[in-house]
Structure 1
Amino acid sequence: MTLFEQSGTWRPVDRAAQQVQTLSFEMPEGVTAFRVGLEFDRSGGGVLDLGCDGPHGWVGWSGGERSSVVISEEWSTPGYLPTAVSAAEWHVVVGLHEVPAAGVDYRVVVSRATAADVAAERRAQPAAPPVPERPPGRDLPAVDGMRWLAADFHAHTLHSDGALSIDELAALAVSRGLDVLAVTDHNTTSHHAHLAQVGERYGITLVPGQEVTTDRGHANAFGDIGFVDFRRPGRQWQRDVAERGGILSVNHPLGGDSCWRMELDQPTAVAEIWHSSWHALPVLRNWGGPLAWWLSWGKDTVPIGGSDFHREGSDALPGSPTTWVLCEGQDVLGGVAAGRTAVGVDPQGPVLLRVGDELMALGADGALLSTFEEGRRRIVGDRVVLPAAAGPWWLEDDHRCVLALCL
């Protein structure tokens, strides 16, 4: 049974006027589950994103990854919250990600779904893999009873445009030697409810996150703080996250068409200084752009790193780069907020840590210790302690490729 249908052509003028379009419809009485379908002509380069807003708030987002989703109180397609269906006004949200000059033809259909439809969709989800063996941990110095945990602050699952379930991603992260992984699916919080249980099963801390995603920049909002509305200005993201006790971090600020182009009340205190794209190509390995951005954004900005993992074979693996966080217990976000971070190329690569007024370089024999001031110092030995003023500091090779960094 069709509940709503609309078709037409989105044109560049529509995208220029409103990049996120809202199609409203009335849900009739008696519906307990429904399916939203989005069809569009992909042949000319058009890309449309799909989401849903309900009478009681945001339901979810699948971007351009899915053409059909199911929503019910019992279960919804990953990316969408299980939501009671009530007779009220609902909204199909369509993002006009790419609209060619000739336009893109589309068709949106909302139809009633049965309990059998919901059950079939649920059964089709991947099974949880076994718990993998964890590699040996690094011998990093404890500081005032705190210990360093290996983290990755940017990764995706089936709840947005990732290829793996939360269980599969957790297993992969453990096999890579990570202690912590932030799951940061795009414009949704549907994954948050599952993280604690999955993390306990696999022996890894899964941090609730969401990548607030627009065509003018992306930012990760960390913490179980509710949905941060990507349709609002960046200043509002910043205020909402602060009021709710979370952390906002600008993502891949120099990342091509997703680079940061939004105004904020003030620079974020935390930023993804090291995104996996920094070392994605040989030509980028000694690219100074991220360091230059760090200097201009603020030298006291707390650095974190993210693999931005989506699927094996097309992205860096979890932990590339690795963010080391000095934590009290498992309070990873507390360690980040306090600025106790260091970033390295991977879990087993060189590490540069700040311990009080000293720097400790581990596994970095032959690397050059550098800062924004003139001069570099050669590291001799696998475990070297040096006095140091406030940073940033980084280790680089003779070709100026960054290997590790810290404040």
Structure 2
Amino acid sequence: MTKWLPFELHCHTFHSDGKQSLAELVSAAHALGLRGVALTDHNTMTGLANREQIVAESGVEVIPGLEWTTFFGHMLTLGIQEYVDWRNLSPFHIHRGIDGVHRQGGLVGVAHPFRVGSPMCTGCFWEFEVSDWNEVDYIEVWSGLFPSIQRNNARAFAMWTELLNRGHRIAATSGRDWHVSDPVTDPISATFLGIQDEAVEDDGLSLVHRALDALRRGNVAVSMGPLPQLSVLGSDGTRAGIGDTIELREGDGMQLEVTAGIDFTARAGHWELPEQLLQLKLVSNLGELAVVELTQGQPQADLTLDVTGVRWLRGELYGVFCNVRTMIGFTNAIYFS
């Protein structure tokens, strides 16, 4: 069974340029209905010193990490136990650092690739040359507050789509780039990770392990409000969810059943949405394939979709949010092989 838990994967404390302690960060995260955060201070891991105590007291998980902050781009590193040095990374040698993170079982993600760079934000614009995108685990396609209306995020979202079209299996996340615990009026987005069998006890797998595994698999959805959901029923009767792969064998029919839905209980009470007809657009490498109209009274629908030529499929949730018609959230891809 998959349980979707909301995380914020890009956070800072006063150990770098934030204005909050780790305890203040997790307290604010709990107030926003988040199950966990990733501490990604700039080029340091000293803020994690009392992590275990804070997690035990707050019930909010803290994923260890840091943000490489260089002149050529910022890269988020999650799940590492030891500092991985980035100082020998030229624009053409980012894979040296990526290899060091992967050797520890960690993950790497490109942070806010199209944010305005130097001198306004040193190195924020991504300029590293990636020779193999299969080595990058995820891209932060939504960054900051009310991310869906930011032009730099639209460019990042298009970049992710192009990488999917080129055959790469790469996850997409949101990241607030959280520095201050003060209340905000603009909406935040959360990265929901599909945690497998969280209720299983004594199996040696921590929530951090499960969260990183979900991100590695692409079992990820992102939303500022209710959570879009998507699954496909294969011709063999196996249902594939977000991040999974449908195996299409010779002779299989190309008409498959798709279930599209919205979970209105996700972080309920932490967002507002006027009663309306929402659209869940089914988008693929072939473009938009279908539009499903859903409401709180009818939050799920089944449809038959011709998947001839489809290599990946995702859901994009649209509606009026904070007085703007915008994308409210999206799923990561289901892949077809």
Query: TM-score, structure 1 length as denominator?
Result: 0.58
- Cα pair 1:366 1:378 within 8 Å, conserved: no
**Could you say which residue in structure 1 is the equivalent of 2:37?**
181
Q: Which residue of 2 aligns with 1:263?
A: 129
Which of residues 397, 401, 404 in structure 1 aligns to 2:319? Answer: 397
2:213: which partner in 1? 334
Q: 1:154 to 1:190 in 2, by over 3 A?
A: same
User: After the TM superposition, which residues 314-325 of structure 1 pair with which residues of structure 2 at under 5 Å, given as runs?
Assistant: 320-325=188-193
Q: Does 1:223 align with 2:79?
A: yes
Which deviations, in whole Å up to 9, do the C-alpha atoms of 1:277-331 show, x marking residues without a partner?
5638x6x3797323211112335321111111111469788x9210111113221
- The aligned residue for residue 359 of structure 1 is 260
Equivalent AA in structure 1 for residue 230 of structure 2: R
Answer whether contact 1:254 1:289 (CA < 8 A) is retained. Answer: yes
In structure 1, the partner of 2:291 is: 377
Specify the SS of the correspondent of 2:313.
Answer: coil
Amino acid at match of 1:238: I
> What are the superposed Cα offsets for residues 93-143 of structure 1, whole Å, 9 maximum, x if unpaired?
xxxxxxxxxxxxxxxxxxxxxxxxxxxxxxxxxxxxxxxxxxxxxxxxxxx
C-alpha displacement at 1:264, in angstroms?
2.5
Please state how far the C-alpha of 1:228 moved relative to its aligned partner.
2.1
- Aligned equivalent of 1:309, options 178, 191, 199: 178
Mark the runs of 5 or more structure 1 residues left unpaired by the alignment: 1-143
Taking structure 1 as reference, are residues 285 and 327 closer, same or farther at Cα in structure 2, changes over 3 Å only? same
RCO higher in structure (CA 8 A, sep ≥6): 2
1:114-193 matched pairs, under 5 angstroms: 144=1, 146-193=2-49
Q: TM-score, normalised by structure 2?
A: 0.69
Structure 2 stretches of 5 or more lacking a match?
A: 118-123, 199-206, 232-238, 241-258, 265-272
State the partner residue of 2:66: 210
Taking the aligned partners of 1:216 and 1:251, their CA distance within structure 2 comes to 12
Equivalent pair of 1:326/1:335 in contact (CA under 8 Å): yes
Where in structure 2 are the equivalents of 1:10-21 lying within 5 Å?
A: none
- The share of aligned pairs that are identical, in percent, is 25
Aligned length: 257
> Shift in Å at residue 243 of structure 1?
1.3
How far the C-alpha of 1:183 sits from its partner, in A, is: 0.8
Q: Which residue is 1:248 aligned to?
A: 108
Q: Is the 8 A contact 1:155 1:309 kept in 2?
A: yes
The Cα shift of 1:245 comes to 0.7
Deviations 1:60-112 (A, max 9, x none): xxxxxxxxxxxxxxxxxxxxxxxxxxxxxxxxxxxxxxxxxxxxxxxxxxxxx
Quote how far apart the aligned CAs of 1:270 are: 1.3
Task: Assess, with a 3 A threshold, how the Cα gap between structure 1 residues 241 and 312 changes in structure 2: closer, same or farther.
Answer: same
Q: d(CA) in 1 for partners of 2:302 and 2:329? A: 15
**Which of 156, 176, 185 does residue 290 from structure 1 map onto?**
156
Alignment RMSD: 2.7
Q: Distance in 2 between matches of 1:339 and 1:278?
A: 23
